[in-house]
């Protein structure tokens, strides 16, 4: 269906069409948890992980939906299956590896309704990616998300130390920083060919 | 455990009832909407495609969708393919050309194009971008720049003597350096996008034109796919 | 009766300014930034979201006695996803060009926190009429906010508004405004203005209180 090479899919998802800075997906956690570097790294890890799980789920559901010829159930089944799988993973993690759970488990429920996850599932379906392509795409998207989050957190930590006018403090400053980061990421265009 | 009397738990039964009930209602709504809009949507898609086809190959009166069958032969198809290919017939029923969709990576994201091939001229005679997210003001000039569009009035796409590939690969050259009819005159400032378009056309034409040249004339228009 | 009239208009008006979903609550940012590169797209996205807000608010409110507390989120998501799918097909039936421009972002209305938030915080506790008014207010507030961002981006980025040119051809368009980064900048600009007005309002209220 789609013959793009794995490397170009990865580069595209991570840099050229970065989910946060080019598609505006997952903006809420991007602004919400990017004030500290430490939390940003953990959040990025958790999102990457959920993206991988969601991508595999979405691929399997799509096979099933194609088999029964019911494209109109796509949105509803994606969101339900993804959110229940994430909850399942959360429970398993709590039981099997409490340390990992403490490190990133608290973010999992927040991520379930993150638009980046559903966006990933829908984009991979729209582009007709095969199984391995989907997995590579989700890895790239996750790493790109984490990268944007960490870069943003680095800038915001420095911003804290500077004198910013009251009106601009907070969301406005974060938006301007994000805008400049997004311009920077435009420089990657043309890489994934 | 601690205060079951104070916090009455909802019974499992009523939870099932609610979830199943809501699920059924939602399914009903979705199916009703899908059924009632399906005809309209198909109609829209057909109109959209017909408009695009008559733009790249104005002489077209009728088209049939084709695909390569299991035995490697061209055959009529009714399946909706991601990149459909059509044979176009003129007003007197003659085969006038083929209209093909192709897709590939541009500067920002996938670019999807529609182009027309004329059997008589053995050249690409029409071109239209269906979908692109190229940089506004730079990459998207491939859609408006007159000298670039002029490339596709007759872009040479002759096959080699054995008929299994293009005789001359379609390539994009720097603006103003076009010397041969199979070259695409690029756009300065949209280099990558115009090169990407050259590659997309070359790949698609290399794959499809040999099959079309071999089988298109013998295809049965009235056959039921 | 008269006092009830006042409060129902209040349900509607609060979404427009005091609790504006985009500029004050900063909810539903993904679509607000992603599809606001032209005024027309912004308007279409706003209307689609309003429709989903209205229908899901109405349904949640009607079913509020039927949905058990423990299973509410699943039920809400199910209802919202249903109406989003419907909107997706309705837009496709209306205009394919529009559907192309909005792309996957219609489907992403499902995860717009604004809608789940209103279902949870308002519709599940109020009568259908109230829920409709609240949904309408929030929806109109969201649409207006999107339109504001879209208009700024289209005027500066393409030199036109709703496709009609407003500047002479000699105007050098600010291409950056139609690119993703322009979304961030336009949003920052409007937030700055809203913050400024809010601050002024708070100051005058304070002054009145002391006087």
A127-171 tens-digit pLDDT:
888 899 999 999 999 999 999 999 999 998 888 888 888 878 878
Answer whether residue B133 is part of any domain: yes
Residue B146 sits at the vertex; the CA angle it makes with B142 and B150, to the nearest 5 degrees, is 90
DSSP H helical ranges for chain B? 12-56, 146-149, 191-215
B89 bridge partner residues: B62, B95
Answer whether residue B202 is part of any domain: yes
Answer whether residue B225 is part of any domain: no
Residue A162 sits at the vertex; the CA angle it makes with A160 and A166, to the nearest 5 degrees, is 80
- Which residues, 6 or more positions from C78, have their beta carbon under 8 angstroms from its beta carbon? A76, A80, B22, B23, B26
Q: What tokens does B150 get?
A: 């002029």
Same structural domain, B69 and B176: yes
Inter-CA distances, C13 with A93, B56, C45, C135, Å: 45, 51, 21, 11
Residues from chain A contacting residue B137 (CB–CB below 8 Å):
none
Contact at CB, C108 and A26, closer than 8 angstroms: no
Same structural domain, B24 and B65: no
- Which residues, 6 or more positions from C144, have their beta carbon under 8 angstroms from its beta carbon? C16, C46
Q: How many CB atoms lie within 10 A of CB C97?
A: 11
Q: What tokens does B112 get?
A: 């999807």
pLDDT (tens digit per residue) in B32-66: 999 999 899 888 888 888 888 888 888 888 888 88
CA gap C21, C191 in Å, rounded: 12
Closest approach of B120 to chain A, Cα-based (Å): 31
pLDDT (tens digit per residue) in C149-180: 999 988 888 888 887 888 887 777 787 888 88
Contact at CB, A113 and C30, closer than 8 angstroms: no
Question: What's CA B22's distance to the chain center, in Å?
Answer: 39
pLDDT at position B2, please?
A: 44
Same structural domain, B79 and B166: yes
Which partners does chain C have (≥3 C-beta pairs < 8 Å)? A, B
Same structural domain, B97 and B170: yes
Residues from chain C contacting residue B49 (CB–CB below 8 Å):
none
Inter-CA distances, A192 with A9, A24, A25, B110, C48, Å: 7, 20, 20, 11, 34
Number of domains in chain B: 2
Give mean pLDDT, residues C117-137.
89
Given a contact cutoff of 8 angstroms between Cβ atoms, the answer to whether A51 and A75 are in contact is no
Same structural domain, B138 and B214: yes
Same structural domain, B156 and B192: yes
> For chain C, what percent of residues have pLDDT higher than 90?
27
Searching chain B, which residue's CA lies closest to the CA of residue A5? B105
Among A40, A29, A20, CA closest to A104: A40
Closest approach of A128 to chain B, Cα-based (Å): 9
Same structural domain, B124 and B212: yes
Answer whether residue B81 is part of any domain: yes
Contact at CB, C70 and B10, closer than 8 angstroms: yes
Same structural domain, B82 and B46: no
pLDDT (tens digit per residue) in A60-92: 999 999 888 888 888 888 888 888 887 787 888
- Which residues, 6 or more positions from C93, have their beta carbon under 8 angstroms from its beta carbon? B37, B40, B41, B44
Same structural domain, B71 and B9: no
Among A97, A121, A93, A98, CA closest to A109: A93
| Partner C, chain A 107-126, Cβ-Cβ below 8 Å | 113-115, 117-119, 122-123, 126
Closest approach of B135 to chain A, Cα-based (Å): 9
Contact at CB, A192 and B110, closer than 8 angstroms: no
> For chain C, what percent of residues have pLDDT higher than 70?
96
CA gap B100, A156 in Å, rounded: 50
Answer whether residue B88 is part of any domain: yes
Answer whether residue B111 is part of any domain: yes
pLDDT band at A2 (very low <50, low <70, confident <90, very high): low
Of B13, B32, B56, the residue that ends a domain is B56
Q: Which domain range does residue B14 map to?
A: 1-56
Contact at CB, A183 and C104, closer than 8 angstroms: no
Same structural domain, B82 and B35: no
Answer whether residue B224 is part of any domain: no
Of B56, B72, B87, the residue that ends a domain is B56
- Which residues, 6 or more positions from B65, have their beta carbon under 8 angstroms from its beta carbon? B76, B77, B78, B81, B84, B85, B86
Q: What are phi and psi of B118, to 5 degrees?
A: -100, 125
Same structural domain, B68 and B103: yes
Q: What tokens does B18 get?
A: 């609610």
Same structural domain, B27 and B71: no
Contact at CB, A189 and B135, closer than 8 angstroms: yes
Answer whether residue B118 is part of any domain: yes
């Amino acid at each position: 269906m789609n013959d793009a090479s794995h490397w170009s899919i990865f580069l595209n998802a991570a840099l050229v069409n970065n989910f946060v800075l080019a598609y505006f997906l997952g903006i809420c956690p991007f602004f919400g948890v990017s004030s500290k570097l430490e939390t940003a790294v953990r959040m990025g890890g958790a999102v990457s992980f959920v993206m991988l799980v969601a991508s595999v789920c979405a691929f399997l559901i799509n096979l099933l939906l194609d088999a029964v010829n019911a494209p109109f159930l796509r949105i509803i089944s994606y969101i339900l299956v993804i959110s229940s799988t994430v909850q399942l993973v959360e429970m398993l993690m709590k039981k099997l590896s409490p340390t990992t759970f403490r490190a990133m488990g608290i973010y999992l429920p927040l991520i379930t309704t993150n638009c980046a996850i559903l966006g990933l599932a829908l984009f991979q379906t729209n582009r007709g990616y095969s199984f391995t392509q989907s997995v590579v795409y989700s890895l790239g998207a996750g790493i790109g998300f984490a990268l944007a989050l960490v870069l943003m957190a680095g800038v915001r930590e420095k911003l804290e130390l500077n004198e910013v006018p009251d009106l601009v403090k907070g969301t406005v400053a974060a938006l301007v920083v994000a805008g400049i980061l997004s311009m920077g990421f435009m420089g990657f265009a043309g890489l994934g060919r | 455990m601690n205060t079951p009397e104070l916090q009455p738990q909802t019974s499992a039964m009523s939870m099932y009832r609610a979830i199943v009930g809501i699920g059924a209602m939602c399914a009903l709504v979705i199916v009703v909407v899908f059924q009632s809009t399906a005809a309209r949507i198909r109609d829209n898609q057909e109109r959209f495609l017909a408009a695009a086809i008559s733009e790249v190959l104005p002489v077209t009166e009728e088209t049939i969708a084709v695909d390569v069958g299991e035995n490697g032969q061209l055959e009529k198809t009714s399946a909706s393919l991601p990149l459909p290919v059509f044979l176009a017939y003129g007003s007197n029923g003659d085969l006038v050309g083929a209209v093909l969709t192709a897709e590939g990576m541009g500067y920002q994201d996938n670019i999807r194009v529609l182009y027309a091939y004329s059997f008589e001229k053995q050249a690409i005679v029409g071109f239209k971008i269906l979908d692109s997210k190229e940089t506004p003001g730079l990459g998207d000039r491939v859609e408006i720049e007159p000298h670039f569009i002029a490339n596709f009035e007759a872009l040479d796409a002759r096959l080699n003597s054995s008929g299994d590939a293009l005789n001359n690969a379609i390539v994009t050259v720097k603006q103003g350096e076009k010397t041969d009819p199979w070259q695409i005159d690029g756009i300065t400032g949209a280099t990558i996008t115009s090169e990407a378009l050259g590659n997309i056309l070359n790949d698609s034409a290399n794959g499809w034109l040999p099959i079309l040249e071999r089988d298109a004339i013998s295809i049965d228009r009235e056959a039921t796919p | 009766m008269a006092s009830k009239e006042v409060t129902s208009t209040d349900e509607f008006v609060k979404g427009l300014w005091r609790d504006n979903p985009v500029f004050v609550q900063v909810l539903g940012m993904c679509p607000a930034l992603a599809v606001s590169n032209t005024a027309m797209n912004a308007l279409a996205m706003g209307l689609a979201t309003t429709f989903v807000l209205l229908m899901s608010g109405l349904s949640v409110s009607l079913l509020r006695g039927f949905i058990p507390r423990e299973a509410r989120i699943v039920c809400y998501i199910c209802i919202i996803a249903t109406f989003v799918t419907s909107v997706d097909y309705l837009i496709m039936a209306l205009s394919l060009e529009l559907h192309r421009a909005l792309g996957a972002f219609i489907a992403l209305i499902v995860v717009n926190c604004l809608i789940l938030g209103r279902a949870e915080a308002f519709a599940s506790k109020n009568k259908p009429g109230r829920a409709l008014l609240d949904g309408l207010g929030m929806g109109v507030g969201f649409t207006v906010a999107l339109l504001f961002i879209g208009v700024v981006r289209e005027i500066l980025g393409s030199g036109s508004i709703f496709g009609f040119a407003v500047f002479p051809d000699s105007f050098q368009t600010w291409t950056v405004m139609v690119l993703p980064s322009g979304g961030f900048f336009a949003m920052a600009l409007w937030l700055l203005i809203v913050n400024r007005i809010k601050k002024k309002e708070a100051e005058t209220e304070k002054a009145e209180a002391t006087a």
